[in-house]
Amino acid sequence: MAWRSSGSSSAELISNMMRHGLVNSPRVAEAMKKVDRANYVIDPTYAYEDSPQPIGYDATISAPHMHAHATENLLPLLKPGAKVLDIGSGSGYLCAVFHHLVGPTGRVVGLEHIPELVDWSVQNLDRDGLGAAIKGAQIIMVAGDGRQGFPREAPYDAIHVGAAAPRLPKALVDQLASPGRMFIPIGTLSQSIYQVDKDEHGNVTQKELFGVMCKM
């Protein structure tokens, strides 16, 4: 139903995704409606289509329904005051959604390996009304190797990974809080989204959620 969920505004896009069962949580819908996707794409003409969009440097912003899947999966850990790591933060869109869920007492770290996208994402977040959250370090956007995570701010209640890894990176598991959850695509020729949970005793389990298309 993704192709039928596009709208003429952020609110209409999210409402259509709710109607088609792509967004189920009212908390997720409310947070996504607060983020104007037009501020996070190169061409605002296609901002409210439920499809990936190029953002330069051979990178894309994921389709809104994929952001919704990730956010709903991590939602049990996205409580006010939680700390979140978004790896492959790109345009900054999902960092904004996470911020609205964890609130001013939480912290969202966006980690992106392309420095130019880091700079652009800060501009996008500021344009979307989150300049104060950046100045107050409620949102931190940094350049770095996503495979290594960002240990300086660890542990994280939730970790979202946007690009596939050939295998589950140990560094990211180590940076999960107990309890904590990671949403990550894993694979090379074929890829699947995995949910990785660490319980309060530090035991780690992983569950395959669904397959995704590989970027060629």
CA distances from residue 148 to 151, 166, 169 in whole angstroms, order as listed: 8, 14, 8
Contact indicator for 78, 92 with CB cutoff of 8 Å: no
Locate 64 and state its tokens. 């809104």
DSSP tally for the chain: helices H, then strands E? 7, 9
Helices (H), the chain: 10-19, 26-33, 64-74, 93-102, 115-125, 131-135, 170-174
Spot the catalytic one: 6, 62, 89, 91.
Answer: 62
62 is catalytic: yes
Distance CA 140, CA 67 (A): 19
Locate 6 and state its tokens. 């596009």
Residues 168-204, buried b or exposed e (16+ Cβ, 10 A)?
ebeebbebbbeebbbbbbbbeeebebbebbbeeeeee
Distance CA 31, CA 51 (A): 19
Sheet holding 156-161, edge to edge: 139-143, 107-112, 83-87, 156-161, 176-187, 191-198, 204-212
User: Active-site residues: which are they?
Assistant: 62
